[in-house]
Structure 1
Amino acid sequence: MGFLDHIADVCSDAADDVSHNVKRKRRPLQTVEIKVKMDCDGCERRVKNAVSHMKGVKSVDVSRKDSRVTVTGNVEPTKVLSKVKGTGKRAEFWPYVRYNLVSYPYAPQAYDKKAPTGYVRNVVQAMPSPNTPTERYASLFSDDNPNACSIM
């Protein structure tokens, strides 16, 4: 073996070590929902183009009726929000949850007139507290439970 062969082996070993030591951290696939007020097709197109050109974005769904942008992909929610704000639009994370997922939708600050149909604002008062006892009305009159109802 000559000197050049030795240098070639050392360089190839160093290149292999560098390529094996580099570990890329992959972000998990997630869905980010953002509330953005869009008035026209141009606003909708501007927001969609800004978000769809981000690295890691798999799909973008824009609903002007609900003022909602849904982004799915390997992205960070804060970066998506800042990208949408960069278009000049006022944006925030989607503050609403489905009406049927909340135990008390008319809690103070939960009912929002600006919310889309079928949604209420996600507030702590509307969620059930973990210490409250829950009654299972369906199991009170169950045929499987012999002590379910003494009236029957």
Structure 2
Amino acid sequence: MDEWPNSQREQRVSFRERDESRVAWVNGDLIEWLLDEVGDSLCAMAVYQRNKLEFEYIRDDVRDRYSHGDFEAMAEEFGLDGALGDEHKERLYCAGELNFVVQGFDDGTFVRVPLTEYGGLFVALDRDAEVSLPEFAERLRSVQSIEFL
């Protein structure tokens, strides 16, 4: 795994307890709501703005699986998806505004909810989370606990 950077270069990834600069303000009730909804199945919750990813919650075992470079790549992916992909998909499919994206993997389910043109919410769940994904994503979308700075 690569080392966590100590330099003054621009940080694309931050963790709530490590970084004072913010891309968004998140009401703490959101984390509590997520934990009430999915319990121990909640792996991570982050907000993204362009190519910056800010983790508000991440389970220790999940954080240990990734290097800082992995998190940097995720931040870049969110930036590209939001800036290029969402608008393109809305035009391509002629089905209205993109409300959420769900990706299922062997060991997890990722839900991305765009909230602004370049920003949104990311939630990672264990694969066996007992939740109706469309309803869960719609409820995330309606949450008014995030203010982008």
TM-score w.r.t. the length of structure 2 is 0.20
Higher relative contact order (CA 8 A, sep 6+): 2
Name whichever structure is richer in strand by fraction: 2
Which entry has the higher C-alpha Rg, 1 or 2? 1
TM-score w.r.t. the length of structure 1 is 0.20
